[in-house]
Amino acid sequence: MVDFKKIINSTKLSFSLNKKLIKTFVDLILQDADKNTKVIQDEIKLLTGHTIKINKINTAETCLVLFGCCFGLLTTNGSGLITSNQGKKIEKISKEIIKETFAESQYLIEKIDKYKNLYNKELKMYYHPAGIFLQNFAGEDIDKIFTGNPEMLNPLLHKKVMSVLLAMSLTPTLIFKKT
């Protein structure tokens, strides 16, 4: 069955998919970094009783996982908004913007690619990115997000962060629907 709404939206998007729109997408993720990091901190506190301090590292990690999951979503037709080729164009231009903005861009892009690959690994799901992200987010306080078993991530926290990442990654991608 042909999805005419997707075809029409893709056609409109191909005309308006420019660097300015993609910069808006990148800026949305970066501007919401503090707010999104606080949401993750609150979920950890709610589900474990422990507070993980917010710092530049876990704030950056929040942005990186969101970029990775958004790119995974957009480049695999997972968004339902655009084609995978358009998603690849968004990813390419977004990475160019990151290179222009950050001195340590190569490291950041490697981390973004790692999260994207983890997203793509598990049938377009947030399972692997959420687990790795939680461990990176916790940093020195990693023991606080595990159960009594040092090898088992708190399963309720893991699932909740998967849901939160889904919601957080959908928000910036919706700008491509408005075009």
Rounded CA gap, 19 and 30, in Å? 16
**Which of residues 80 and 26 earns the better pLDDT score?**
26
Alpha carbons within 13 angstroms on the beta-carbon side of residue 152 total 6
Alpha carbons within 13 angstroms on the beta-carbon side of residue 79 total 29
* Confidence class for position 11, pLDDT limits 50, 70, 90: very low
- Share the mean pLDDT of the chain: 86
| Region 128-144 average pLDDT | 89
Rounded CA gap, 49 and 132, in Å? 20
Rounded CA gap, 95 and 71, in Å? 10
Q: Which residues, 6+ apart, have CB-to-CB distance to 24 below 8 Å?
A: 175
**Which of residues 177 and 19 earns the better pLDDT score?**
19
Asked if pLDDT for residue 170 goes beyond 90, the answer is no
Q: How many domains does the chain have?
A: 1
Q: Which residues pair with 146 in a beta bridge?
A: 153
CB of 135 closer than 8 Å to CB of 145:
yes
What domain range is 45 assigned to?
A: 4-176
CB of 45 closer than 8 Å to CB of 141:
no
Q: Which residues, 6+ apart, have CB-to-CB distance to 51 below 8 Å?
A: 41, 44, 45
Please write the tens of the pLDDT for every residue from 62-105: 999 999 999 998 898 766 778 889 999 999 999 999 999 999 99
Which pLDDT score is estimated for 15?
46
Rounded CA gap, 115 and 121, in Å? 10
